Structure 1
Amino acid sequence: MYHTWMRYFTPSPAHHRLGLVCLGVGLQHGALPTVGPRTLDHHVAVVIGAGGGWFRGTDGRRTPVRAPALIWLTPGTPHHYAADPNTGWDECFVDFTGPATTTYTELGYIEPDRPVVPLSDATGPRAVVSRVARAARRDNPLLEVETAAAVHELLVALRRARADTTPDGDPVLQALARDAFHPLSVAEHATRNGMTPAALRTAVRRGAGCSPKDYLLGIRLGRAKELLAATELPVAAIARRVGYDDPAYFSRLFTRRVGTAPVRFRQQQGRAVPGGWSQQIPDPDDPPMLPAQDGPEG
């Protein structure tokens, strides 16, 4: 016995230009029928929230699947899978496609070479799939855009829920972020973390989808933009604060990566006021509020 609910969509060419579009969503549980062997022309993320079963991919081996887990189905890849016929499983799935899938694959969010991914917790991804399902009503005029936005959110939720990522994030990335503003080379960062440069590159590529140099650069330039916008510190002082002893090199690097010079960025984004710079991240549940205004005197 099993239960199933699913909806499928046909986004227009204009919607495909969003980069990602949702093609379908489903929620199922029980001793579901075997899927495949088959090959699809689009991506599917299948989230197993409870139960178990098996998956067989291109290598022909039957891989056990135990919840919580993710099954990646990628275009052109034969696959064959099923829930345990005695216990079944609880699954939800989202079909999607679009040119942005190439970038998400390069960044490591989609893993064609690892079709079965253990998850630490399926709650986050399942919540996103539930939002897709709620948006799937036929009278929703925002259906295609709302579900497309949710696919982006789902890929992030799945990346965060991977069992090889701790709740606080990847320890290597945490260490790089902590030391990002020190004028250290990639080799020196590797030594600090007890790794070879090659091992550090592999870890950062897997965790952040980029090289250590680009990961550090993103953090440094982000801080530099904040300081340019919210303080009146000279550009040379900002360069030193974010790890560059040579202000001219910093300015050239900033201009090349951001597309505008530091001085020009400050002219466009500057909001410097006395006491306006803070390292504290606002609490979304307690947003900053303007003081209450006194009412007009009687």
Structure 2
Amino acid sequence: MTRHPVAPDPVRPVAHHIHAPLHQVTFALRPARGHMVVLLGGSSAVTMGGEPASRAIPGLAWLPAGNGGRLVFAPGSVGWLLELPGPRLARAVPPGLDEAMRGLLGKALFLPLDNPALRDELQTGMRAMRDELATAGPGFDAACDCRLGLMLLSLWRLALAHRAVGGGETSGLSDRFVLLAQQNARSHWSVAEYCGALGVDRDRLGRVVHRATGLSPRAYLHGELHRQACDLLLGTGLQVRQVAYRLGFSDPAYFNRFFTRMEGTPPSRFRRNAARARSATDGSFAAWP
């Protein structure tokens, strides 16, 4: 059974409760969204960026925005899947952790979830997010941001604890690549230029980046540029051509084609859809960035 949900509000999270007693359940991952997976029972695997190999999810996983993919839950699986648009994700990051979170959330994370208290905490947060989104009561957006911030904090803490055991040179190289990508995405560096800056060959960088993010270096760079484009389209009043120039595109038409390929809709329509969705949800948010 494959689920292709109706196109969601571009700035609202979507929470799915996974309960697959008899059949395999497959979700198509949206390229413009990050995905948090909490697996409480059974097994699941993810294929990202068009790569043929799947990776098992041991308990808690973070799948960054990028080139999409699919998430498969085996029969008997129980858990949660949370889809998070980039703008909402940026809004919910706990104060003071912006830089740390930016680097962390730029790559795929597959973490064991052995602590029963943390499992219960994440399940409670997911259930509360689903209920808030379903009822859309007064202040539900603020409530979702608070709950999401706590879950991101739990993800960050678990990642730190996991790195204290693992990590090493490979983790350091992937971290440096992610940081360089954030700094130079708008300069449109080639993969060869990143290799030169990091002092590694193309094959080594490809292996390390794929192991850390689930994507090739090129796919990761496209995902970072797309994320920054979404932030500018939804968070500023810049015209589409100005967004293109701000992101280093010399030809706005090429930017339109790039964004449409990544998002599935042209940038102007993406912005209109987001504005309509915010206005329909709560008129007081219509003028928010």
Q: TM-score if structure 1 supplies the norm length?
A: 0.43
Max radius of gyration: which structure? Answer: 1
Q: TM-score if structure 2 supplies the norm length?
A: 0.45
Higher helix share: 2
